[in-house]
Amino acid sequence: MRPLPAGTPAVSVGKHIVGGAYAVAITPSGGDSSVSGGDSSVSVFAMPAAKLSRKVGRKEGGGCLSLAVMPSGDRVLCGLNGGTIRMESYAAATAAPLRTFAEHTDQVNAVMATSVTTFASASNDKTVRLWDAECSASTATLSGHSSYV
């Protein structure tokens, strides 16, 4: 990740995020910074001005605890405390997520894009799952953890 230019304003998310800020993700280009909150929406801030430019996602499904931007920079993954992962479009504030991934049985603590079409997630259900982002299905489940991951 490249550093922000000197003089870049701090982002004050208090008035934009309901229930506190849980996760931050930055697009590969550095043009947008995203912050998730307790209402499961994602606030997108244009950088380096740090101004709220839009919100994406639906306010449902519990808090968005983890975020990851896909390498293409046009989609963001939101891991929810209900165990679901939503893929949202950065380009359009759609009424519904582009895809949902619902194989975890407890909150999703982390999501990480591993390529343009794959990502990984870790959950309180003691599993790490690898996903194909194009078909909404996990391709592998890493289990056997003795505690949350």
Which pLDDT tens digit goes with each residue over 25-52? 888 888 888 877 777 778 888 887 778 8
Q: Which domain holds residue 102?
A: 21-110
Residue 33 lies in a domain: yes
Asked if the structure places residue 99 within a domain, the reply is yes
* Residue 58 located in a structural domain: yes
Question: Which residues lie across from 45 on neighbouring strands?
Answer: 33, 52
Largest CA distance in the chain: 47
CATH code, domain carrying 36 = 2.40.10.480
The number of domains in the chain is: 1
Contact yes or no for 131/119 (Cβ under 8 A): yes
Here the tokens at position 104 are 């975890």
Residues 89 and 96: beta-carbon distance below 8 Å: no
What pTM did the predictor assign? 0.82
Tens of pLDDT along 56-73? 776 666 788 899 999 988
Judge whether 122 lies within some domain. no
In a domain, 16, yes or no: no
Q: Which residues contact 104 (CB under 8 A, 6 or more apart)?
A: 83, 84, 85, 121, 123, 125, 127, 129
